[in-house]
Chain A
Amino acid sequence: EVQLVQSGAEVKKPGESLKISCKGSGYSFTSYWIGWVRQMPGKGLEWMGIIYPGDSDTRYSPSFQGQVTISADKSISTAYLQWSSLKASDTAMYYCARHRWEALDYWGQGTLVTVSS
């Protein structure tokens, strides 16, 4: 069974750094791209970027380029999304999902990030 399990909810202060994770199982982790999607409170889905764990090739949406870093450790089948300096506007639910057929076919349960002073 394909599963993507994300790390737990985080509460941070503005300016702090953060790295959240997404662990894949039940399939060949290095053979599929993994995407990250943001959903701000009460809002729609926004595609952030995507990584191919096999060689760490990464692409970002123009809206998120330079704002976040996507990485992966194929040895432990885990992808990451990280911020170096959080802002209140980063408060959102973040989902990882497996990319297939130019779509996202399996999704993680989401990680809620709250940034507040």
Chain B
Amino acid sequence: QSALTQPASVSGSPGQSITISCTGTSSDVGGYNYVSWYQQHPGKAPKLMIYEVSNRPSGVSNRFSGSKSGNTASLTISGLQAEDEADYYCSSYTSSSTPLFGGGTKLTVL
């Protein structure tokens, strides 16, 4: 299985909005509403930010939102803050009954 496709890096200024894409196939992203997103700061464990495409776990800021169209899922962060600078990973359930991660995107807050 190949990793889901994410841009290697994105950047934005404080207060702006950015979107990170996650492209798969009809056997993963496009076939199921089980896309999740994780934030990972350097040296820390990942943190769940979005599950089931667009749901936020308790305690996650509403500045984070998720969506999906066809085989591509997206994570949008609005009102960008310095603390949002981190690596972001998408993940999707697949037809093999096993999840698959994206390659990760480094978000830089300028």
**Distance in Å: Cβ of A33 to nearest Cβ of chain B:** 11
The verdict on A46 contacting B101 (CB below 8 Å), with A62-B1, A107-B46 known, is yes
Q: Name the CB-closest residue of B to A65.
A: B98
Known contacts A44-B89, A62-B1, A62-B96: does B101 contact A104 (CB below 8 Å)?
no
Q: Cβ of A102 and Cβ of B38 under 8 Å apart?
A: no
The answer to whether A28 has its CB under 8 Å from any CB of chain B is no
Q: Does B52 lie at the interface of the complex (its beta carbon under 8 Å from any beta carbon of A)?
A: yes
Question: Given contacts A60-B98, A102-B93, could you give 16 more A-B pairs where the C-beta distance is less than 8 Å?
Answer: A35-B99, A44-B101, A44-B102, A44-B104, A45-B46, A45-B89, A45-B91, A46-B101, A59-B98, A62-B98, A95-B45, A103-B36, A104-B46, A107-B45, A107-B46, A107-B47
Interface residues of A (CB under 8 A from B): 35, 37, 44-47, 50, 59-63, 95, 97, 100-110
B102–A104 CB distance below 8 A: no
Q: Are A102 and B96 in contact (CB under 8 A)?
A: no
Partner of B36, one of A61, A104, A106: A104
B101 near A105 with CB under 8 A, answer no
24 contacts between A and B (CB under 8 A): A35-B99, A37-B101, A44-B101, A44-B102, A45-B38, A45-B40, A45-B89, A47-B99, A59-B97, A61-B1, A62-B1, A62-B98, A63-B1, A95-B45, A101-B34, A101-B36, A101-B55, A102-B52, A102-B99, A103-B34, A103-B91, A104-B38, A105-B48, A107-B47
Given contacts A59-B97, A107-B46, contact A47 B51 (CB under 8 A): no
B-chain residues with CB within 8 Å of residue A35 when the two chains form the complex: 99
